[in-house]
Structure 1
Amino acid sequence: MAARKPLSDLRSHLGYRLRMVSNAISRSFARVLEAEGVTVAEWVFLRVLHDAEGIAPSLLAERMGMTKGAISKLADRLTGKGLVDRSSNPEGKRGQTLALTPAARSLVPRLSDLADRNDARFFGTLGPEERRVLEHLLEKIAVEHELTTMPVD
C-alpha cells in the first residue's frame, strides 16, 4: 500500500489567509455601515450610482456584474430608504432610470470616508511599496480569472 501524502495545513493555503483577512475587513465595514443604515451591497450600489447618474437598471446591473433582479431588489430597498429615485426613461423608451436623491448625494461622501478609514485600519500596517505590490498581485489574479463581479457581501 502506497503511503498517503500528508494533508496540508489550512494556514498553508493563501486562499485561507486571504479569506481570513477579507472576512475581518468586510465584517468591520459592515458594522460601520449598519450604523449608517445601509448594507455593504447598498453601499456599493450607491457608490456606483454616484458616478453614473441617471442610469438604466440594466446598465447598472452590467457594470456591477449582478442580475437585473438583484439590482431591482436593491433599488427597491434604497427607494424605500429615500436614497434612490426611479423615473421614466427620458428618451421615451420603455424602462426606468435610477438616480441618487439629495439625501444620498450627501451620504455617499460620508460613507466613502468610512470606507477609506476601514482600509487604512487594515492596510495601514503596509508601507507604500508593499501596498502597491499587494494591489498589483490581487489585480493580476483578478485579471487572470476574469473576476469582474463587484463584491457586495
Structure 2
Amino acid sequence: MDKNNRSPSKGSRNLGQLFLQLRRLERQPQQFGSAGSITPSEIHTIEGIGYEGAVLMNELATRLGVTKGAVSQLVVRLEAKQLVTRSAYPQDSRATLISLTDKGKEAYKVHEELHIQFYDQLRAELGQEEIEIFEKCIEKLNAMLQK
C-alpha cells in the first residue's frame, strides 16, 4: 500500500491474485503417475511422510501443522488409495508409523518432478539476480505467514 493514501499498490493486488490462484490450485485434485487422482492435501501429506523410511503419526501432524485427527483422516484416505501403510511403532504400541507404498513413492517422485519443472520454467523467465531476489522474498513471506 502507498503510505500516503493507503490505497492498494500494484504489488499488493498481485499478491492478492497469487493467493487466489494458490487457493484455486489447492482445491483441484491432480494425477500423479499410476497413483491416480490425489488432492493437494493428500500429496502434501505424502511429501510430509518423505520418500525413505517411516514417520510417527504425531510427528507427521507436527510437520504438516495440523491436528492428529486431521492427519488420521488423511492417512485413512491414502490407505484406501494404497499410497501409505501403517505399522506399529516397536518402542510404543500406542504409536503408529506411516510409510509410503511403492505407489505412494511414485506419487512423491512425480510431485517432486513437477516442482523441479516449475522452478526450471521460472529460471527460464528470470535472470540470476531476479531468482535470488525471488528466493529471498519467498523466505520472508513464509516467515511472515508462520507468525
TM-score (norm: length of structure 2): 0.77
1-side partners of 2:22 and 2:119: how far apart? 8
User: Does 1:8 find its partner at 2:7?
Assistant: yes
CA contact (8 A) 1:61 1:71 kept: yes
2-side partners of 1:126 and 1:30: how far apart? 28
Q: Which residue of 1 aligns with 2:137?
A: 137
Return the structure number with greater strand share.
2
Q: Which residue of 1 aligns with 2:67?
A: 67
Deviations 1:8-40 (A, max 9, x none): 24xx16343123134435646865x52331111
Residue 82 of structure 1: how far off its partner (Å) = 0.3
Show structure 1 runs of 4+ deviating over 4 A: 25-31
Q: Which residue of 2 aligns with 1:58?
A: 58
Percent of aligned pairs with the same amino acid: 25
Q: Which stretches in structure 1 are left out of the alignment for 5+ residues?
A: 149-153
RMSD between aligned alpha carbons? 2.8
**Which of 12, 16, 19 does residue 16 from structure 2 map onto?**
19
Question: Secondary structure, in 3 states, of the residue corresponding to 2:55?
Answer: coil
1-side partners of 2:114 and 2:100: how far apart? 19
Q: Which residue of 2 aligns with 1:147?
A: 146
**Which of 16, 19, 35 does residue 31 from structure 2 map onto?**
35
Structure 2 CA distance for partners of 1:110 and 1:45, relative to 1, 3 Å: same
Q: Which residue of 2 aligns with 1:151?
A: none
Deviations 1:96-151 (A, max 9, x none): 110001111122112211232234445642222211111112212433x3617xxx
Aligned residues: 140
Question: Secondary structure, in 3 states, of the residue corresponding to 1:95?
Answer: strand
Question: Secondary structure, in 3 states, of the residue corresponding to 2:30?
Answer: helix
Q: Which stretches in structure 2 are left out of the alignment for 5+ residues?
A: none
2-side partners of 1:43 and 1:127: how far apart? 30
CA contact (8 A) 2:43 2:107 kept: no
Structure 2 CA distance for partners of 1:49 and 1:25, relative to 1, 3 Å: same
